Structure 1
Amino acid sequence: MKKSNPYQITEWCRSLIRPQVKPGDLCIDATMGNGHDTLFLSQLAGPSGRVLAFDIQQAALDATRKLLERQDGVAPVSLFLDSHANMGDYARPGTVSCIVFNLGYLPSGDHSIATHKESTIAALEQGLELLKTGGCISLCIYSGGDSGFEERNGVLEYLKGLDSRRFLVVLSCYYNRPNHPPIPVVIYKL
């Protein structure tokens, strides 16, 4: 088994998610991609939990389904060929422990299909309402490509305006990495 790099953005975010998710929790993978975060959340939530995962590409659902087929002792997972901007249609407000976003495009997929500022902000607005008190949202913000900088800037501006009495936004950066390194963000609902 390949050892993960604790300084990789996804692993750094996972280190903050682990203490948040308990067996029996409901979690959402807002951008399932190849299913690695879906699997991670389903392992944390366990057989008594549940995970909802969203992507707009059939290839993402297929890859995730294949990854999950080989797993035991994980939460039941529902895969949706739908935009993360519609996640509010699938869960009730105040019921979700953790929501994970990896912005950008599907690794090894069509790079012309990527997340965009408008749908991501709509998803964040819904996600904040879906979170229960003490829950968190994890964002891995990748910039570049056709819409990446616009999405990054729009999402960061949106997060800066969140009510600090209701939410704590923790933004970090890879300060000495070149070429627009990814930005890890965690939002806690107070």
Structure 2
Amino acid sequence: MELGRTMKVLKNSLRISHDIVEKVVCEGDVVVDATAGNGNDTLFLAKLVGESGHIYSFDIQDIAIEKTKEKLEAGKVAERVTLIKDGHQNIDKYLQKDIKAAMFNLGYLPGGNHSVHTTSHTTILAIQKCLDLLVPHGIVMLVIYYGGDSGFDEKGAVMNFLSTLDCKKYSVLMHDFINQINCPPIAVCIEKL
């Protein structure tokens, strides 16, 4: 039996985001996790950049920074990461050099307080600053969680902003399931040309 015939072809947005980032980020790269959350993307990035690369990981919540730190220490990659308890819109206070990629998971901390979540204003500022820092053919990868009790306004504002990006400078690709219920997350990749 061929393996390809038994595997699910269409992956969820989080898996799609990881597949794309894996194709771009290499050993020695500098990358950003704009929303540390529970630390999963930071750990994923730390493995990709290897010992010679570095990750700047942002979150505004103490619990997110602590969970991310624990995950990195358990994975023995904490020295590759600078954890920053600040909003991602302030990236330029901490980083002025070229980055290969930035990852965002928009919404609220899984298992956390739903009243603390990303917002369109700070997210769009952070995306703009990341785009300025990107090397050519670097990417900004967004996973937009917008269902339930938050995120609809942010999703709309972010998508409107992305539609205004100059197509001669950036390519923007959206991955969305159109027949699923409960607002499945959307993956969006922006490549700097």
* TM-score relative to the length of structure 1: 0.93
Check the 8 A contact 1:142/1:182 in 2, yes or no: yes
Residue 76 of structure 2 is aligned to residue 72 of structure 1: yes
Q: Which residue of 1 aligns with 2:188?
A: 185
Residue number among 52, 67, 70 corresponding to 1:63 in the alignment: 67
Check the 8 A contact 2:147/2:184 in 1, yes or no: no
Q: Which residue of 2 aligns with 1:176?
A: 179
Q: Which amino acid aligns with 1:162?
A: L
Distance 2:88 2:162 in 1: 17
Secondary structure of 2:24's counterpart equals coil
Distance 1:123 1:75 in 2: 24
Residue number among 82, 94, 111 corresponding to 2:86 in the alignment: 82
What do residues 40-88 of structure 1 show as CA deviations (whole Å, max 9, x unaligned)?
Answer: 1110000000000000000000000000111236761000000000012
Note the C-alpha offset of 1:36.
Answer: 0.4
Q: Which residue of 1 aligns with 2:124?
A: 121
Q: Which amino acid aligns with 1:51?
A: I
What do residues 70-107 of structure 1 show as CA deviations (whole Å, max 9, x unaligned)?
Answer: 123676100000000001222225x1001000000000
Distance 2:76 2:130 in 1: 28
Identity percentage of aligned residues: 40
The structure with the greater share of residues assigned to helix is 2
Distance 2:144 2:56 in 1: 21
Note the C-alpha offset of 1:172.
Answer: 1.4
Structure 1 runs, 4 residues or longer, greater than 6 Å off: none
Q: Which residue of 2 aligns with 1:131?
A: 134
Q: Which amino acid aligns with 2:21?
A: I
Q: How many residues align?
A: 185
Q: Which residue of 2 aligns with 1:14?
A: 18
Q: Which residue of 2 aligns with 1:159?
A: 162
Query: Structure 1 stretches of 5 or more lacking a match?
Result: none
